[in-house]
Amino acid sequence: MLDLVKQETERIESRFLEPACGDGNFLTEILERKLRVVESRYGKSQLDYARNAVLAVSSVYGKPMPVARSWKLTPISLFTQ
């Protein structure tokens, strides 16, 4: 499935939304692919790497499981694992 959107995962600014993300496995793999592109293109410049890594992280969205009937669309966070 991810290979069907391979070209889009290589575009750092390309946005992904998964409305039923569950555990976030699909979005996690998309983000990992985007970050590999960032590393290969901007790995030599810390500033460019940081700027584009933030762009990659902020372009991946998932709808989290409801908490007290509250739904909110937020960027996926891999740092809470």
- Average pLDDT score over residue span 2-28: 83
Q: Among candidates 76, 40, 42, 72, which has minimal Cα distance to 58?
A: 76
pTM: 0.72
- Average pLDDT score over residue span 19-34: 83
What's the pLDDT at 4?
Answer: 85
pLDDT band of residue 77 (cuts 50, 70, 90) is: very low
- Domain spans of the chain, in order of start: 2-72
More confident residue, 65 or 23: 23
For residue 77 the two structure tokens come to 């966070």
What's the pLDDT at 74?
Answer: 53
